[in-house]
Amino acid sequence: MSAPLTVPADSAAIAPGASPATGFWRRALRHRSFVLGAALSLLVLGAALLSLVWTPWSAYDIDIASKLHPPSAAHWLGTDVFGRDIVSLLLVGARSTIMVGVIAVGIGLTFGVCLGLIAAARKGWTEELIMRMSDFTFAFPAVLSAIMLAAVVGPGMLTSITAIGIFQIPTFVRVTRGSANAVWAREFILAARAAGKGGFRITIEHVLPNILSILIVQATIQFALAILAEAALSYLGLGTQPPQPSWGRMLNDAQTLLFQSPMLAVYPGAAIAIAVLGLNLLGDGLRDLLDPRLARER
């Protein structure tokens, strides 16, 4: 007896459609916090990109003669204590912010996801070691590790990026390990192992794709945290160094003139708030859109 002669009773196909991604954009455009978050994030990204090709004034030239000008046709938001154009500073500051975020989250994501995946795949003492190490790292807030790092290699953008990145690793380790363990417990992993797949291939082909949406959401939220941390470090003088403009730096400069020109603190503060709010809304929206189950677990 070879090929079945009769058509099996269960041959009625279930709705043929495309991959599970179908309809993502349609749902996304109807999702309010996703749309708002994406708009705010794009605003910041747009500002950073614009600063690469055009700023109303140079963000670096100091012109003490025209310091602390109020908003005017020439300087839309006025000038700071060194006579630099606020709009130009904000635009270039967006660039620093995004760079710090991308690199710091990149560090956290790369190391954190690798370690988390290894912990979930190897179990046993490997998992124990990785988790204890990340608990240990987590105990040092970014500010503290930046201060320690700055004491050794001196303050600067690189120092703050590294410190923030290292601080982000444990969060990614935890999120990755937790969700990877849940995937490892699913039956298709057993089936994949029964088909002869080793831990590495299962991790790459089965575990990673199934936790990708969780990682994207987490990365978005970590991006917001990185921006806040960078602002805090620059404000403390440990991050971006003058003359490189950054929003945290602008806050620091405005501090001494808080009563004289309070708006100088409001602009960078608002910029930080927009970026952080935008990313958080985007993360929430993505969480709903990518995996409805996650939204319910919150």
Give the residues lining the site for other proteins (CB under 8 A).
1-4, 7-17, 19-20, 123-124, 186-188, 190-199, 205-206, 209-210
Residue carrying structure tokens 């390990």: 177
Contact by Cβ (8 Å): 126, 188: no
Q: Is the CB of 4 or the CB of 259 nearer to other proteins?
A: 4
Kindly state the smallest distance separating residue 167's Cβ from other proteins, in Å: 31
Q: Is the CB of 19 or the CB of 297 nearer to other proteins?
A: 19
Q: Is the CB of 16 or the CB of 64 nearer to other proteins?
A: 16
Phi, psi of 60 (to 5 degrees): -110, -25
What residues contact 283, with CB distance under 8 A and at least 6 apart? 37, 217, 218, 220, 221, 224
Q: Which two tokens stand for residue 16?
A: 């043929």
Q: Which two tokens stand for residue 297?
A: 């677990």
Kindly state the smallest distance separating residue 16's Cβ from other proteins, in Å: 6
Q: Which two tokens stand for residue 211?
A: 């936790």
In 87-171 the beta strands, taken as DSSP E runs, fall at none
Q: For residues 31 and 38, give the distance between their C-alpha atoms in angstroms, rounded to a whole number.
A: 11
Kindly state the smallest distance separating residue 250's Cβ from other proteins, in Å: 45
Kindly state the smallest distance separating residue 206's Cβ from other proteins, in Å: 5
Kindly state the smallest distance separating residue 120's Cβ from other proteins, in Å: 13
Q: Is the CB of 11 or the CB of 64 nearer to other proteins?
A: 11
* Helix-then-strand count for the chain, H and E: 12, 0
Q: Is the CB of 36 or the CB of 294 nearer to other proteins?
A: 294
Q: For residues 97 and 133, give the distance between their C-alpha atoms in angstroms, rounded to a whole number.
A: 29
Kindly state the smallest distance separating residue 121's Cβ from other proteins, in Å: 11
Q: Is the CB of 131 or the CB of 274 nearer to other proteins?
A: 131
